[in-house]
Amino acid sequence: MATTDMPTIVMPEGAPEEVITHAVLREIDLAPFGAKGTLSLITLDNGLDHNRPNTFGPASLLELNAAIEAALGNDSVAIAITGKPFIFAAGADLSALSFINDRSQAVAIGELGHNVFKKLHTSKKPTFAFINGLALGGGLEVGLHSQYRTLATTAFIALPEVFLGLVPGWGGATILPKLIGPEKAVQVIIGNALNNNTMMRAKDALGLGVVDAVFEPADFLEKSIAFAASVVNGTTQIARQDHTVDETAWQSAIATGKAIAAKKYGGADIAAPRLALELIAAARTNTLDAGFKAEEDALADLNMSDPLRASIYAFNLIQKKRKKVEGAPKAALARKVTKVGVVGAGLMASQLALILLRNLKTPIVITDLDQERVDKGIAYIRAELTKLVEKRRMSPESAAWLSSIVSGTTNKADFAGCDFVIEAVFEDLQVKIDLFTELEKHISPECVLATNTSSLSVTKMSAGLQHPERVIGFHFFNPVAVMPLLEIARTAATDDATTATAVAVGKELKKTMVIVKDSPAFVVNRLLTRFMGEITDAIDEGTPTDIADAAMLPLGLPMTSLELLGLVGPGVALHVAETLHENLGDRYRISPTMQAFVKVGIKTFYIKNDDGSRSVNPAAAALVHAGDKASTAEEVRLRALRALASEARMMLDEGVVATAAEIDLCMLLGSGWPLHLGGILPYLDREGISESVTGQRFHPAGVASLPAGA
């Protein structure tokens, strides 16, 4: 069979060298499986271990093309594609996308993927995808082009493109709606992607109709070949439904997708979900070729835009920092942790105890002022373990064992033998100083004393101790189990062994960590408080609350400032603001409105209605201290962004963190700063605010933005 002409793609200068995923072809005799002839089995393998998944760059696609054409041209009766152990394929190799500066290159990459994968879709021989492991993006799209799909029970699959600022552009946005219907396709392409990039488990994929059969991993390949043989010999037939006839269903699905995107981005018009929904809508009437052409155009448009470059920068930053903690001491310095103490039994402390118990699997002892509080904390932990069993995320035996090694006490002498103690008590400096002083009487000099404070000085907490070198900030974000960021705050006295132990514990908890200098409110709360302070100041000056609160909506933040205030709580927000005002001065002003909220006990500015909508809490609105100096939404937005630029520059000058990228990481993971902005500082750079306020950029030109001249 003649090789179809393929677009020639010359990658831009400076682009990283592609790690080629090879396509190895072999013939499998189907006679033992009850069918005549052979199956051409193509195995994707980049030759590396499972820490580097198979990906598709131009050279990898050409290798796959050659293998498919060889299989189409031989005497086999069917073609199948599978992956190396544990990995099917993780999609396109994104490493070079940020170097592309010509739209034609982006179009050519889309064309190349379509031209290769489409051969599986249009083959006269039945084609199969044996998805034996992780399949993301283009990896899943290979499967969608195949005419039949099997999936290992341990595999996870997803189309995460919209999460990354892309669209499923190698057939996914066109094929999937036709295969499983528009409502389910919107769930996979929009809903899952924008819900923290949720992946489908095998049972979900089978239930949605994304795959045709699910097999256990031990004999997955054999069972998949047997499935293929049964299709070839006619004993298995898979019925496909025509989902294109019900136009109303498509309109409803698109409306659902728009609502999901609007909720995620606060109503801002974000290109990736909008274009993905346009492709899904068009799939109903488009031919495959017309749909693929539309995907190529959408991919090219996105690739030649700052949001995609920003998303890739942010995504790569998050992936890199998950593996390496900047400034961490040598791991060999970490002490072994065999028993953990948690001071406090309230909700935050109980969450901390639970995550430590589940991940460290070491005895946990919690304490509080009285037995009733201790018992309540223990009951919470055991109830959560029971829920995990009910959800089949933990075996009854594991839950019973973990329940048996968590205990409660009102006597701090029971912390003897602990290697790591963390406090999560009331945010009062003297309370924490007194606590650490008492704990020192009962624990060894090597036991780490960690504080979950969000704003107080770790240095002051440790100043009077015999061993201040073992005190460290260990600041989680709420909810503890969900939020990925952990700020580790070193004082001038904190030694490397303590820091290394804290990092080792953080890794066991699967947190992404940033080591920060002990300073007021560290990174996230310092920036958020400065940012929110500008909004509340504008309200106090006389700007209508609806205008001030909506000022940042064009950025696509996950919630408005006053919604965030309701999540954090006015009491916590005011406390942090007072701490920062005391330590950093008048740029952190104390809002009389916030003081009034706390005095009266207002918890939230908005209240939820029965229909899910929100309305202003009249009790909160009545307490707003409004002056007569109103600002426009644009003025409020610019004011808040200029404040962020100023504060970030001061933080870098003070050495709170070593690099601008660490500030980006903290805001991405600790405050939900949108991925499509690339982090806070690249956005300020692109908008010209960094140079306007500080006289310099935070990042070199071209970071998280189009190359010069593109």
pLDDT one-digit tens code per residue, 678-689: 989 999 999 999
Checking if the pLDDT of 83 tops 50, the result is: yes
Amino acid 557: pLDDT:
86
Q: Which is more confident, 14 or 116?
A: 116
Residues 572, 454: contact at Cβ < 8 Å?
Answer: yes
pLDDT above 70 coverage of the chain, percent: 98
Strand partners, 50: none
Strand partners, 607: 615
Query: Residues 477-497: what's their mean pLDDT?
Result: 95
Positive or negative, the CA dihedral 96, 100, 103, 105 is negative
Give the C-alpha separation, 559 to 170, whole Å. 32
Amino acid 382: pLDDT:
96
CA distances from 49 to 24, 54, 87 (A): 16, 10, 10
Checking if the pLDDT of 119 tops 70, the result is: yes
Judged on CB neighbours under 10 Å (0-12, 13-18, 19+), 623 is: middle
Question: Residues 16-30: pLDDT tens digits?
Answer: 788 999 999 999 999
Residues 489, 522: contact at Cβ < 8 Å?
Answer: yes
Amino acid 207: pLDDT:
96
Amino acid 64: pLDDT:
97
The pair phi, psi for residue 365, each rounded to 5°, is: -120, 130
CB within 8 Å of 42: residues ≥ 6 apart? 23, 24, 25, 64, 67, 68, 71, 79, 80, 81, 82
Query: Residues 103-122: what's their mean pLDDT?
Result: 94
Judged on CB neighbours under 10 Å (0-12, 13-18, 19+), 484 is: middle
Query: Residues 551-562: what's their mean pLDDT?
Result: 88
Give the C-alpha separation, 25 to 47, whole Å. 15
Checking if the pLDDT of 84 tops 60, the result is: yes
Amino acid 1: pLDDT:
40
| Confidence bin at 2 (pLDDT 50/70/90) | very low
Q: What is the CA radius of gyration of the chain?
A: 28
Checking if the pLDDT of 213 tops 50, the result is: yes
What the chain holds in terms of domains, given with CATH numbers, is: 22-304 (3.90.226.10), 331-517 (3.40.50.720), 524-655 (1.10.1040.50)
Question: Residues 253-292: pLDDT tens digits?
Answer: 999 999 999 999 988 899 999 999 999 999 999 999 999 9
Question: Residues 621-640: pLDDT tens digits?
Answer: 999 988 999 999 999 999 99
Neighbouring CB atoms inside 10 A of 58's CB total: 22
Query: Residues 482-493: what's their mean pLDDT?
Result: 96
Query: Which SS3 state, helix, strand or coil, does residue 636 take?
Result: helix
Query: Residues 442-447: what's their mean pLDDT?
Result: 96
| Confidence bin at 568 (pLDDT 50/70/90) | confident
Mean pLDDT score across all residues of the chain: 94
Checking if the pLDDT of 80 tops 80, the result is: yes
Checking if the pLDDT of 3 tops 60, the result is: no
670: alpha, beta or left, given left = phi > 0 and alpha = psi -120 to 50?
alpha
Residues 660, 652: contact at Cβ < 8 Å?
Answer: yes
Judged on CB neighbours under 10 Å (0-12, 13-18, 19+), 348 is: middle
The conformation of residue 261, written as its DSSP 8-state character, comes to H
CB within 8 Å of 101: residues ≥ 6 apart? 12, 706, 707, 709, 710
Query: Residues 527-536: what's their mean pLDDT?
Result: 95
Residues 321, 668: contact at Cβ < 8 Å?
Answer: no
59: alpha, beta or left, given left = phi > 0 and alpha = psi -120 to 50?
alpha
Query: Residues 330-351: what's their mean pLDDT?
Result: 96
Geometric angle at alpha carbon 545, from 455 and 570, rounded to 5°: 25
Residues 41, 33: contact at Cβ < 8 Å?
Answer: no
Give the C-alpha separation, 316 to 319, whole Å. 5
